[in-house]
Amino acid sequence: MPFPHTTRFLANIRIRYVIIITLLLGLILFLTAFFGIRKNKSNMLQVMETEGNALMESLILSSQNTVRANALLEELVGRRLKDIANLVSRIEKDGGVTNVKLENIAEENDLLRVDILDRNARLVYSSHPLDETFYQDSTDSVNHSLKEILDGSENSVVFGIEAKTLLAENSYAAAVKRAKGKGAVVVIAAPAYMENFKREIGIGYLIQKISQESGVEYIVLQSMDGIVLASKKVEKMLKIEQDPFLQEALSTGVAKNRITSFDGKDVLEVVQAFKSEDIPSGLFRIGFSMDGYIRVSSSYQKQMILFSVVLFFLGFLIIGLVIINQNYFVLDRSYKEIKTLTGNVLEAMHSAVMAVDERGKIIMLNRLVEDLFGVTKSHAINQDYNTIFPDDPCLLKQTQEKKRASRDVEISIKTASGEYRNLIIGSSCLFDEENRFRGAVAVIHDITELKRYEEEAKRAERLSALGNLAAGVAHEIRNPLNAISITVQRLRSEFVPQKDQEEYISFIKTVLDEIKRLDNIVNQFLSLAKAQKLSLVKTEMNKFLNEVISLAELEAGEKNIRVIRIVDKLPEVRIDPDEMKKALLNIMLNGIQAMQQGGELKIQVNQDNAQKDLIIQIADSGSGISRENISKIFQPYFSTKEKGTGLGLAIAYRIITDHQGTIEVESEIGKGTTFTIELPIS
C-alpha cells in the first residue's frame, strides 16, 4: 500500500475534530460569500459612478465647445461674407461688374445672392435683378443694419434678414460701403447655410445623440426656470428649488451622484452645474439604468451562494486527500527533479526553458521563466499549463496540439515588474524511444536589449541621413528667406500707404515674425541633424543643475506645477554646459506641458553605486505616453502635442548620446512619465 501513514492518520482523527473543522469551514465560506457580495455591489456601483462622472465631464466639455463653436462659426462666416463683399466692391471700382458676374460669384461661393445698392437701397447690379423688393420688410422699410452702411455711419456690418413668409427661413448677410459711389455691396448666405451646421453640432443634437447610448435613461439641461433641453423620454422633472440635492449641486459646481426614481424604477443620477453666456445656465442631469447592476448583482449573489455550498462539501471531502497525499508526493518528486544535474544546467542557462508532459502538465521550468512570467516553481510544477498560461505565450499548447515545432516566433510581454520585454520563442516536441509523443519544450530568448540597440542604430542612421540633407536644405531655405526679409524691411522703411497704414504695418510685422519662426525651425533642424562639436569643460554639477531647474520652475509656476528637486552632492563632470542645458530643459518643459491641470515635476540626481555614472531622473505626473508611442518619442517631428514641432526630445537624445550617455523612458497612461539619463562621470 502506498499510503500507510496517511491511512493511520485519517483513522485516528476524532469525530469532534471533523465537526469543528467542518463548522469553521462553513463559517469562513459564509463570511467570504457575505462580504464578497457586499464588496461586489459596492465596486459595481463605484464603477457606474466613475463612468457616469466621466460621461458628465465629456458632456459638459462638449457642450462648452459647441457653444464656442457656434460663436466662432458666426464670426468666421461673417468675415468670409465681408471678404466677398470687399472683392465685389473692388471689381466694381475697376469697372468689371455685371449682373452675370455677380450671379457667377454667388454660384461659386454657395450664396443666396450678391447685390450692389445705391444710397436709397435700390439695385444697381444684382445676381437676382428682378427681385427689387428683397431688402424691404413688411412695412416697406429698409433693414436697420443696412441703413447704417447706406447713411455712412458704418463701413461694414453683419446682419440677419427676416423671412417675409412663415414658410421661408431667415438669411445671414454682410454689407460693406461701395468703393465707387454711394451705397453698399451686400452678400447674403443661403438660409440653411448656418442652420444646418448648428443643428448638427448643437447641444440639443448632442444630448439626443448621447441619450441613445445603451444604459442612458435620460439627459436633461435644467435651469431655475425649468427644462431647457432634454432627451425625448423626459417630460417632467422636479424643479431645482424643490430639491435640496439639486440646489447643493448647483451651488457647489461639483458633480454629485444619487440613486433616485424615474418612471417607476431606480436610476443612478449624475448631476453637475453648467454655466454659459449663450444659453441658460443650470444643471446637467444624466440618469443611468440600474437594470444591469441589479441583474449582475443578483446573478453574482446566486453564484457566490452556490459556490460556497459546493466548496463547503468539496472542501470537507478532499481536505485529507489533496493536502496530505497529493501535494506531499508532488512536491517531493518535484524537489528531487529540480536537484538533478539537468535542473542545475537549466538554471545556469541565459535562456528561459519550460517543458510540459503529454497531458499539458508543467514538469520543468527554470529561474528565467519565473522572472519573465511572474510564476514560481512551487506554484506551477505539475499544474495545467493552460491554467497558468491561458494565452499560450510559450507556444506549448500550439506545439502539443499540432505535434509540430515552432521556430523564431517573436512576441512582446509585460513582466510581473511592469516592464515590457521582447522575446524570441522556439518550441519542440518530446518523443520517447518508441516515437510516442511525451510532451513539449520551449526555449525563450530575451531580445529586449538587442531590439533597443537596433532602434538606436536606426535612429543614428536616420540622424546621419538628416545631417547630409541639412546643409543643403538650410542653404536653399535661408537664401530666399533673407531676400524676403530684406524686401519686407525695405517696404516697411521706404513705402507708407495712404490708407490702412495700421493694417499695412501689422501685415509687415506678421511677415517678419513668420520669417524669424522659419529661421528658428531651420536652426532646430540643423541642431538635430548635424553632429555638434562639444565644448567639454569641467562643470560643477550642483550649481549647473540648480540653474537649469530654476529656469524650469519659472515655466512650472505659471501652470501651478510643483517642482521637487532631490540633488545629492555631485562631483565635477566634463560636459558642454550650453548643450546639456538645452537637453535637460527640453525634457523638463516636455513634462511640464504634459500636466495641463497642474501636478508635480520631480528631479532626482545622484551617482550610481560604483560612482561611475551620474543618474538624472526627471518624472512628471502628467497624462503619460502610450506604449506604442514610447518608441517614437525620440524620432524627429513626432509629437503628441497639438502645436509641438517634434524636435525637442530628438535634440535632447542627440545631445545626451554625444556626451556618451544614455536616456531611457518609462511611462504609464494616466500616471506620468519618467526619463532616466545616465552620464559618465569620467
Cβ-based neighbours of 582, under 8 Å, separated by 6 or more = 651, 652, 655
Q: Quick one: the chain helix, strand, coil %, rounded to 5?
A: 50, 25, 25
Contact 267, 288 (CB under 8 A): yes
Contact 124, 116 (CB under 8 A): yes
Q: Which residues pair with 463 in a beta bridge?
A: none
Phi, psi dihedral angles at 366 (to 5 degrees): -105, 180
Convert 112-128 to b/e letters by CB count within 10 Å (16 or more is b): bbbbbbeeebebbbbbb
Average pLDDT on 505-523 reads: 79
Grid cell listed for 133: 423688393
Of 594 and 238, which is predicted with more confidence?
594
> Beta 599-607 vs 561-567: how paired, if at all?
parallel
pLDDT digits (tens, 9 = 90+) for 158-193: 887 766 654 455 677 889 988 887 889 999 887 666
Phi, psi dihedral angles at 458 (to 5 degrees): -65, -40
CA-angle at 14, arms to 8 and 15, nearest 5°? 130
Burial class (CB in 10 A: 0-12, 13-18, 19+), 151: exposed
Strand 256-262: give its sheet, edge to edge.
226-230, 216-223, 282-289, 265-274, 256-262
pLDDT of residue 602: 93
| E-assigned strand segments in 224-365 | 226-230, 256-262, 265-274, 282-289, 352-357, 362-365
- Whole-angstrom distance, CA of residue 135 vs CA of residue 147: 11
- Whole-angstrom distance, CA of residue 587 vs CA of residue 675: 8
Average pLDDT on 619-647 reads: 74
Average pLDDT on 378-392 reads: 86
H runs (alpha helix) in 403-500 = 448-494
pLDDT of residue 219: 83
> Beta 437-446 vs 352-357: how paired, if at all?
antiparallel
Residue 524 — very low, low, confident or very high, per pLDDT cuts 50/70/90?
A: low
Average pLDDT on 363-367 reads: 84
Residue 108 — very low, low, confident or very high, per pLDDT cuts 50/70/90?
A: confident
pLDDT at 622 over 70: yes
Contact 234, 218 (CB under 8 A): yes
pLDDT of residue 1: 43
pLDDT of residue 245: 86
| E-assigned strand segments in 118-178 | 123-126, 156-161, 171-177
- Whole-angstrom distance, CA of residue 66 vs CA of residue 122: 39
Q: Is the dihedral of CA 345, 348, 349, 351 positive or negative?
A: positive
Of 50 and 14, which is predicted with more confidence?
50
Radius of gyration of the chain (CA): 38
pTM above 0.75, yes or no: no
**Which domains occur in the chain, in start order?**
202-289 (3.30.450.20), 340-443 (3.30.450.20), 451-529 (1.10.287), 537-680 (3.30.565.10)
- Whole-angstrom distance, CA of residue 275 vs CA of residue 291: 32
Of 122-136, 314-328, 515-529, give the range with the top mean pLDDT: 122-136
